[in-house]
A and B are shown apart, each in its own frame.
Chain A
């Protein structure tokens, strides 16, 4: 098993009691970093929380519902509530250097590998 792998962890009992939605996301790995793209339509930057603890990254984004009361719904396909995603980081991840960029309802997480885990070129003398 690749130690830099990323996978979701099951929600705890308490978490299951509240309705969360898992956002769509994709993972791209390269030699030096792992990038995760998460789709969070309707989530404003200020309503998004990303925390890292115990080798787990937790992401929570509330869908802001700023529609006026006068709007009457004729048909709905979008979700209401909170997006939540838990990612287990591999032990090669450099947790202090994780970067999160939110733009237009899409979050880009960049998780670099620790220096020691990056491929190193050894000079031949």
Chain B
């Protein structure tokens, strides 16, 4: 667990920091005893990468050991929710392993064209950019 925390807690330094869902971070705006924000406190918070190219954003999450049908990707307004649950047998009987992470997306994406793929324990969500945000070459007239 120590290993996990070491790698997974550095989200405040990123370029997308302002987009990162504030529910994930300890917040002064909501009291911590609010059950709405505690319900999945046992859920793993997987490591996440963000990438972009000219026409897409990509979100990759490390969630090993799941089946693709056990993973949910939802879009609520501009908030991308990554969730999953699976059963695991342990010494103390079966237990449930869950993960949850959410990412706020910028406005200029094509929400209806988002797609997701799960491979080798890595979930990749492809978020196409809206046309207006793609780099355009403007011809300079003389």
Contacts and interface: CB of A to CB of B under 8 A. Distances in A.
The 10 nearest A-B residue pairs measured at CB = A105-B121, A106-B65, A105-B64, A75-B14, A41-B62, A77-B47, A41-B121, A71-B51, A74-B50, A41-B64
Place the interface of chain A in its size category: 20 to 34
Contacts of A73: 49-51
B73 to A, nearest CB: 16
**From DSSP, what is the main secondary structure of chain B's interface residues?**
mixed
A29 B121 CA distance: 25
Interface of A: 22, 24, 26, 28-30, 37, 39-44, 64, 67-68, 70-79, 103-106
Interface stretch (B1-9, B34-42, B129-137): B1-9
Contacts, number: 91
Interface residues of B, number: 33
A104 B65 contact: yes
A74 B51 contact: yes
A104 B47 contact: no
